[in-house]
Each structure stands twice: as C-alpha cells, then as structure tokens.
Amino acid sequence: MMIDLRSDTVTKPSAQMRKAMAEAEVGDDVYGEDPTVNLLQERAAEMFGKEAALFLPTGSMGNQIAIKLHTRVGDEIIIEERGHIFNYEMGAPSAVAGVMIRVVRAANENAMLTWAEIESALHINLPYYACPTGLICLENTHNFGGGSVMSAEQTGEICHKAHDLNLPVHLDGARIFNAAVAQNDTVENLSRDCDSVQFCLSKGLGAPIGSMLLGKKDFIEEARVWRKRLGGGMRQVGILAAAGLIALEESPKRLHVDHENARLLAEGAANLKGVSIDAERVQTNIVIFDVSQTGKTSLQIVAELKERGILAISFGNSIRMVTHCDVSREAIETTLENLRSII
Ligand code: TLP
C-alpha cells in the first residue's frame, strides 16, 4: 500500500459513497432533470447562503466560467502570484475569457493579499489605453501559500472595497471547508460578500469527481450555458452528485483530523536537519517544506520516498505533502521515519 500525499485529489470514494452512487436517482442533467444533481445544487446554495449553485466536472471549469462571466475580453484580472488560477489552469483565462492576468505577490508567506496590495495593482480611472481591471480573484485556502486561511473579515474588507469600485470578486474556494474548519467559521461567512465562489467536492471532502460554482441566480443560469459550451454538460450525472451530497454533509466533520495530521507532519519535518518549515503556520491539510539545506534536492528526496512507498510532489526547493481521509496518523508517522532516514 502506497502512502499517497501528492494531493487530497487522490482519495477513493468511501463505501457509503459507492452505495449512494449505485442507488442514485438520475435523469438528464442537461435538461435539468437529474433529481440528485438538483438536490446537491440546492443543498450547496443553502449552505453558502447563495441564490444558486451549479454542479461542474472540475474546479478549473468553475473558476474559468466565473472569470468569463465577470469580465470582458481585454480586461485584466488580479490574483496572488502563487495562485492556482495563474499557475495551474493551463492559461485558461487567456484561452477562455481573453483576459490578461496581473499577478501581485503578497508580502506575507501565507500568500494572502491585503486590500492595499490589491489596490496598488488596480487599473481603474486610468487613460483609456491602460488594460482595465475586471475582476479580483481570491483563493481560500491558499494552496501554494501552504494551505493558509483567509478570515471572513479579511475577505469582507476586500469585497467591500472592490464593490465600492464596481469590481467583482471571485473566490477560488477549492478547499473552503478546510478554511472554515480551521477557523471554526462557516463557508457562508467566508464567502458572504464574494460575487461567486467555486469549491471542490473532490479534494478534502473525498468525492471522486465534481465541483460547485455558486452565485446569483442569473449568474448561474449563464454559467450553465458556458458549462455546456465548454463541453461540461453531463447527462445522468446524479451518480456523481450522490457522492457529492455525502461529501458535503459528512466530510467537513472529519477535516480536523487531516489538519491534526498535517500539523504532526509539519512539526516532525521541522525537526529534520536542513528542512525549513514553520509548523505553526500549518493551519489546514497542506504541508510545504524547503529542503535546500539538506544536501539533497527535492526531486531526489521525492524519488527516494517513492522507492519506500510514499508519494509527494516536489516543486523548486520544496516538497508538498497533503493529508486527506485516506491517510492515517500511522501513515504520517511512517512518512516521518522515512524522511528522517533519507535526509
Ligand atoms: N489543485 C491540484 C493541482 O492542480 C495543483 C492539487 O493537487 O492541489 N483551485 C485550487 C486552489 C486547487 O488547488 C485546484 C486543484 C483547483 C482549483 C482545480 O481543481 P480541478 O483539479 O478540479 O480542476
């Protein structure tokens, strides 16, 4: 058995999910006739306090549809430099929405932008030949900020100031349930003032496939058109929504376990010679540590871990490990023992 810490996307559906999938009532969702999808959409909208929700195959599609709907071709969108939309969505904002990306590097290691940082990058009320800002994108938790969290107050402040300037805010909340659990807050509070929010069922929540996009009713109606246009109109997809419903209702209750495991991993890694990580900063399920002073490269360490049955991801001088429902505390202890012997 491999210990797979590459991502929380690797989880397998639980027995409860598989049973619900087998028994799901289905219909053609392109006609809006899949009762299980409809239920999932209603339930998600209710949880987030938004008017409507749409079930999508991926988080990337949710982010890209939101960008498309909030902007006009030739606009600029603002995002933190380490953000997923900028780095890992295949240039889709330019391909799908025809927008440019203006990245802003947050001064803090958590990769969380302040309003002052965003404001300094805005292009509004400038001469007509400056590329106008059309949208601000936030990410909570921030994946490559080490699973860092943004509070409801910070998000609210950015949204209010953006709205004063008629700028919409989209929240990439792929892991917003982790952010909610870590702060003992609700997903509704964390996304309250955002014009749209995308979250993934298929990450920490453990569903095999699926994401939700939420916003106002007319926004979601337009999003449905774009989902079809992009090839994401699925048919008897209640089979997946059934797993999504369980992910939504049950999984948030156990996310604290992943956070405890991540902290254990971070504290253990921090004690290794040459490894650099501030374990106190690990608030959710993502652990990123720098190995540049160990005498081995991140690639070498990841390769050696793999030989021992442990999977992780290397990028630059760092290694990323993500805890999830298929990784136990014992697996974390085994990982630390192996890291100790390799490093
Ligand atoms: N993240 C994946 C990789 O693409 C890096 C991972 O393993 O963490 N927003 C955020 C913040 C994400 O972390 C991801 C996936 C997405 C969007 C995209 O979701 P999918 O993979 O469903 O398109």
pLDDT 10s per residue in the chain (343 long)? 899 999 999 999 999 999 999 999 999 999 999 999 999 999 999 999 999 999 999 999 999 999 999 999 999 999 999 999 999 999 999 999 999 999 999 999 999 999 999 999 999 988 889 999 999 999 999 999 999 999 999 999 999 999 999 999 999 999 999 999 999 999 999 999 999 999 999 999 999 999 999 999 999 999 999 999 999 999 999 999 999 999 999 999 999 999 999 999 999 999 999 999 999 999 999 999 999 999 999 999 999 999 999 999 999 999 999 999 999 999 999 999 999 999 9
Boundaries of every domain in the chain: 3-9+254-342, 12-250
Protein fold of 3-9+254-342: Aspartate Aminotransferase, domain 1 (3.90.1150)
Given strand 196-200, what is the order of strands in its sheet? 52-56, 211-215, 196-200, 169-172, 133-139, 76-80, 100-104
Q: What is the CATH number of domain 12-250?
A: 3.40.640.10
Q: Which of 269, 270, 266, 246 is nearest to 258 (CA)?
A: 266
pTM exceeds 0.75 for this model: yes
If one residue of 88, 148, 199, 258 were mutated to test the ligand 1 pocket, choosing by the most ligand atoms within 8 A of its CB, it would be 88
Nearest-angstrom CA–CA distance, 12 and 15: 9
- Assess whether the C-beta atom of 143 lies below 6 angstroms from ligand 1: yes
Cβ pair 12, 27 in contact under 8 A: no
- Assess whether the C-beta atom of 172 lies below 6 angstroms from ligand 1: yes
- Assess whether the C-beta atom of 87 lies below 6 angstroms from ligand 1: no
| Chain-centre distance for alpha carbon 306 | 25
Query: Tokens 């007319």 sit at which residue?
Result: 218
> How far, in Å, from the CA of 130 to the mean position of ligand 1?
31
Q: Do domains 3-9+254-342 and 12-250 have the same CATH topology?
A: no
Nearest-angstrom CA–CA distance, 140 and 46: 20
| Sign (positive or negative) of CA dihedral 176, 153, 113, 276 | negative
